[in-house]
Chain A
């Protein structure tokens, strides 16, 4: 790892001032940044440690009934906050399906939004990657890409965004609070992450030096609490990134869908809000036929970017399953295996 200057500002404005120069990076949990620095994928000259800024560490209920979550709130603290988990169960479930307990104790809300892709060519500095090195090309195209994007990709980049947390967040109209030299601004999470187009290196709407200070869940987000699930297909039972995941949230009234939210993970360079599916669900019967129509709508524009056509069918099915699970109702308790298709399997006999 390249050496760097280490700065620990006392206030947000000091932090923003400290990170104003090129080559600066904010350090929160460090679970992604340090990994990238060790691999030489990113090499900041100046690290601005924001972990001691107490005002970023709060969870507050807003006057309008919304919730404001400080950027430094750790994944584990948020997921295990009983009030939060009750109001936004799919978000809690998504958080607990990500990484490991140790990583969730370090990883933060803001950092999670800024996770970089797990595309192996992005990590492999000997490969071409437009995201890492603009203009160098995309080695993933024509490479080992069975887990790459099926939605929103371009010839410049077929990587996916690896976050679980962001998937239900984007479904619930989360807004990102950003502070920079020019002051504070708000961007919806849906707009926050960008599709690659010709500029995959521009992953988010953050301008250089800007800092995520919080995310806001609007009041309406809690109205789905009774019917909200996150479901994640993985290649091992835990401690693995999603092959495909889905967050589904419904308001069901006498068998009719009165509110619907759906987003997919592991399918695109951003958490994928499936608005056309939501539109198809609104007013429909809360049954499998409606869910299949919604899945078809969600994947209507999907296309394989390589050896990953199966992900389109898998995504369709996971949408149906997540909607079925949401319709069945949020479980009373967090499953032992959060977000797993096997979350309903009770503990089995053990010989020892």
Chain B
């Protein structure tokens, strides 16, 4: 079962260039449009069995009995894995050594702590037999009352929110600021639990060979997954080989290895054969994370000119009863609007749900829809145009910290998007616009922002005697275009045409590329690639400049340029030689270099680093029936250097559509008595369909950032959802005069 992790198939399209900034079509595109891109569940090693989870239908209690005999009697069923026969693990799945080690449900006992928790695994010769075997287990439970909803438990202040931010932060005197204000607003907004619902359900194909473990599974963080699995099984990380060339979407839900994926590995160990385990869609509503619901209260005070005198943002959120992840929603108020006094705070309740986790713009998205709605309310209270109000409160330095921004082209974003949208002709008052068909029409805006994060990554670069290059890093492509963008950075770093570069990624056997998350993968792994390229070119330059036979002799390492597979003298480009000539002279088959990507601590200390954007939305609302349709979205984003505008635009579109979804569609409906999610499917858990997305435009605003990293990359994966959700909500207000205070906005909220 060899899986080629390079993309050697020649894409059947014309190259438009070969380096950073070019709108290349996807290098993996040919595979994806022909159905030959191999996702985890597409693997089928010889002798493979199928495993299907049985999951709990109660939210809290314990499993009293399972009809294992009935399952085993079903033709084709090979084994049933329960807490009684589950192979031993080296560590307790409930152990938590650090905040990012999330507790897993791996049949450690008969307890149930959320609906859809795994309670057994049925392993069979066919998928059909395993599925029916799981149904035949007919579990009986001892049930305790479920704790449901934002008021479902005693609230407390978490020790940290998000990745460990303080739950409560304050700058200046908010109460005094409110007291002194000419105008004040206070508003509360509720957002629901949301589920990632990547189109590809979590899947794993696991095969053991002694203590060597071979896995096909989608992962946004291969090295982390490798380390977690190795720890659980007590084997060396190098013995865990994970292939994840393509993720069918992740959005955060594939950042951490999930319980069901580990159960697939356990099942393979139990039966001594390769096993495939794929979550059923309904089983994705529990063990693989979600965005927690929130209730946010914002208070703002403004002076006579519409300047903020105080901004207070409180968020109530939820976590599971057994682990900690707290959506840092209120932190959205730290970075966007200047105010002499800012206070943010969080509290939480514990519910009988799976642990919430990172979901596309975790905290930022939830916080943004409330903040941008409240800013809109504040602008209206001051009688100001929402754009003018935002410009009046434009933050020249990061409001919470006072740090200068490493770069911030938000003004340009506002200008360009407003111009493209035609914002200037917007009436100030709501319910003033109707279209020719009588639909209420509204225009709203929101500011988008997302931090420019970097993590840790490594890459290995090789130059070969034939003049070609190899770049290796265990990067993950979940749709953002890593196969293409990283190849572009690699080609640039190696001074080669992109077709001369063999780019390998998507495997834990390659150097650790860090996590594809936090919109930081391109910057982090990109810098590792860039530095690896620089290292191997430096090595090559040493070979040339130190050799009298080379036309580059004596130029010094810094005096050499690399381009198109040749080194040139910086001071005389007529003098140069090809990589293969240099390597041939040195008698080397290949040379290699290594590079790392990581945030620069000095600039981290000095600068606030964020991408920014502005989003304008037009909605139509049926005046009688309350049905809403977004008819136009225009966004402008400044996120540092753009590696590939074609891919970046797609990322912005995707984020903006998530913003529409946040405002209008997504909501997990939980039965208040049982705690079970009643719409754990894709028919009634609504994500937008094509017809919900009429016209989208994303403008790429130029921004040079000398501080974020040498490549000037910020990140584009998540920013689109921020700003957009609020823009849609504000457009609904502008159309109807009804201020949305809970999301998704419902028909009944607009019936009047």
List chain A positions with a Cβ less than 8 A from chain B.
1-3, 40, 118, 120-121, 124-127, 139, 142-144, 146, 233-241, 243, 310, 313-314, 317-318, 320-321, 337, 340-342, 344-345, 348-351
Contacts and interface: CB of A to CB of B under 8 A. Distances in A.
6 contacts: A3-B128, A118-B683, A127-B671, A144-B672, A235-B665, A321-B625
Contact of B665 (A120, A127, A236, A321): A236
B664 to A, nearest CB: 8
A71 B175 CA distance: 70
Contacts of A118: 683-684
A121 B670 CA distance: 12
A149 to B, nearest CB: 16
Contacts of A318: 625
A143 B748 contact: no
A321 B624 contact: yes
B66 interface: no
Q: Is the interface of B mostly helix, strand, loop or mixed?
A: loop
B625 A236 contact: no
Q: Is the interface of A mostly helix, strand, loop or mixed?
A: loop
B691 A238 contact: yes
Contacts of B746: 235
Given A118-B684, A144-B672, A237 B629 contact: yes
Interface stretch (B517-525, B673-681, B716-724): B673-681
Nearest to A125: B57
Contacts of A143: 671-673, 678
Contacts of A233: 625-627, 747
Interface stretch (B325-333, B363-371, B692-700): B692-700
A106 to B, nearest CB: 16
The list of the 10 closest CB pairs from A to B, nearest first, reads A126-B57, A310-B748, A120-B678, A237-B691, A238-B691, A351-B697, A341-B622, A317-B624, A344-B437, A239-B689
B408 to A, nearest CB: 26
Contact of B128 (A1, A241, A341, A345): A1
Interface in B609-649: 620, 622, 624-627, 629, 631-632
A318 B746 CA distance: 16
A351 B689 contact: no
B688 interface: yes
Given A126-B674, A144-B669, A235 B747 contact: yes
A236 B688 contact: yes
Interface residues of B, number: 45
Given A235-B686, A321-B624, A342-B627, 16 more contacts: A1-B132, A2-B135, A120-B678, A143-B673, A233-B626, A233-B747, A237-B691, A310-B747, A314-B626, A314-B747, A320-B624, A341-B622, A348-B632, A348-B694, A348-B695, A351-B696
B679 A120 contact: yes
B625, B684, B692: which has the most chain A beta carbons within 10 Å?
B625
A120 B684 contact: yes
A144 B624 CA distance: 25
Contacts of B437: 344-345
Interface of B: 57-58, 128, 131-132, 135, 435, 437, 439, 620, 622, 624-627, 629, 631-632, 664-665, 669-674, 676, 678-679, 683-684, 686, 688-692, 694-697, 746-748, 751
B625 A314 contact: yes
A87 B751 CA distance: 34
Contacts of B691: 236-239, 337
Nearest to A121: B678
B686 A236 contact: yes
Contacts of A142: 673
B631 A348 contact: yes
A125 B672 CA distance: 17
Contact of A317 (B128, B625, B629, B683): B625
Contacts of A139: 671, 673-674
B65 to A, nearest CB: 15
Contacts of A310: 747-748, 751
Contacts of B664: 236
Contact of B683 (A241, A320, A344): A241
A243 B689 contact: no
A344 to B, nearest CB: 5
A295 to B, nearest CB: 11
Given A144-B669, A310-B747, A321-B625, A237 B689 contact: yes
Contacts of A127: 671, 674, 676
Contacts of B57: 124-126
A234, A237, A317, A345: which has the most chain B beta carbons within 10 Å?
A237
A234 B629 CA distance: 11
Contact of B676 (A124, A340, A342): A124
A66 to B, nearest CB: 34
A342 B679 contact: no
A127 B57 CA distance: 9
A146 B684 CA distance: 13
A314 B751 contact: yes
